[in-house]
Amino acid sequence: MGIFRIDEIRKMSVKERNEELKSLTKELLQERGTIATGGSSDNPGRVGVIKRAIARIKTVRSEMAEARGGGK
């Protein structure tokens, strides 16, 4: 898991993107849970990085679906 550039995400297979999306979502939940319980995050900016990575993956997924003519 890390920072993904949009071209890296486009090169991934559908299965890889879905697995990464699931992993990032789980990591985001853990970070938010830590913050919500009053704990301090090791890296407070990590939440934003994770959210942007999730958005990038979802954007590519939408683009691919639209290119295939399927829409949503």
Burial zone of 7 (CB within 10 Å; 0-12 exposed, 13-18 middle, 19+ buried):
exposed
pLDDT digits (tens, 9 = 90+) for 12-59: 999 999 999 999 999 999 999 999 998 887 888 999 999 999 999 999
Which tokens in the block code for residue 33?
């849970």
What span, in angstroms and rounded, lies between the C-alpha atoms of 7 and 30?
A: 27
**N-term to C-term CA, the chain:** 27
Q: What is the pTM of this model?
A: 0.85
Q: What is the pLDDT of residues 46-62, one digit of tens each?
A: 999 999 999 999 999 99
CA distance 61 to 56: 9
The CATH architecture one would assign to domain 6-67 is Orthogonal Bundle (1.10)
Return the domain boundaries, the chain.
Answer: 6-67
